[in-house]
Amino acid sequence: MNTIIEATKSSPKVELNPEGSMIISGRSIIEDTIVFFRPIIEWVKEAKCSQITIEVRMEYMNTSSSKQMLNVLKAVASNPNIRTIYVKWFYENDDEDMLELGKDYESLIHIPFDFYEYYEAA
């Protein structure tokens, strides 16, 4: 069964599909990121799928959110059930910070990312 955490003004939308997909989108300026991300990390640790596709479509993440996002990715990488990981990292065309963050994560967890540049609709 899919798990969906709806977005708020300060937190992203999260969609978790046990068949092997995770989508995180929006903004994350949460004060208590550990509480928000804990169930996501637990879901990843318990995932039984052998392959997962992760789509990250973040407009903005504060520092504590970016640390927790790295913890999510590390949890995916360390789950022994998940043997194939696809990361699709979306960033707005003029958002060099989000692109660099994705590249940093890619080098830290040693999983290749696919980067997708997009233009905000007018």
Judged by phi (left if over 0) then psi (alpha if -120 to 50, else beta), residue 6 lies in: beta
Q: Indicate the pLDDT class of residue 15, thresholds 50, 70 and 90.
A: very high
Helix (H) or strand (E) holding 38: helix 33-46
SS (H, E, C) 39-82: HHHHHHHHCCCCEEEEEEEEEEECHHHHHHHHHHHHHHHHCCCC
Residue 79: give its domain's CATH number: 3.30.750
Instruction: Indicate the residue type of 78.
Output: S
Question: Which residue has better confidence, 117 or 120?
Answer: 117
For the chain, the domain total comes to 1
Task: Render pLDDT for 28-83 as a digit per residue (tens, 0 to 9).
Answer: 999 999 999 999 999 999 999 999 999 999 999 999 999 999 999 999 999 999 99
Phi/psi for 73 (5° steps) reads: -65, -40
Range of the domain at 70: 3-118
Please identify which residue in the block is written with the tokens 């596709």.
Answer: 53
